[in-house]
Amino acid sequence: MKETFCAVAINVRQENGFLLDRFGESFTALVFGELEQEFELVPCDDIRVVKEPVDGPVAYAYDATPGTAYLFRPDLHLGGRWRNANGRQIIKYVSWLLSGGRYAK
């Protein structure tokens, strides 16, 4: 998958429905493999975390490797992609988006 912002999330059929059924109404971080426990250490109600294995159909559809993360906006468009995701980076980026592109002082 080519890195293109504003691309719409790919919906992949899973055993119990579809991938997008697991996304929330806020930002969703789609994480592949083990990501540092930073999402648990830094609570953020604005981000739902959906974890997927790196050897499944979702990883194939998203060209994911261990540590890859995609951030989807509430409208299911791609907001960001990281090959070596860091939970704090993603939370900081969402905070920046929610502030209208201004970092808090």
CA 7 centroid distance within chain: 13
pLDDT digits (tens, 9 = 90+) for 50-100: 999 999 999 999 999 998 999 999 999 998 999 888 788 888 888 888 887
Structure token digits, residue 101: 């592109």
Residues 43, 28: Cα–Cα separation, whole Å: 14
What residue ranges define each of the domains in the chain, with the CATH number in brackets?
A: 13-98 (3.40.30.10)
pLDDT tens profile 25-63: 889 999 998 765 555 545 567 788 899 999 999 999 999
Query: Residue 80: helix, strand or coil by DSSP?
Result: strand
Tell which residue, 83, 84, 82, has the closest CA to residue 93: 82
Query: The whole model's pTM is what?
Result: 0.82
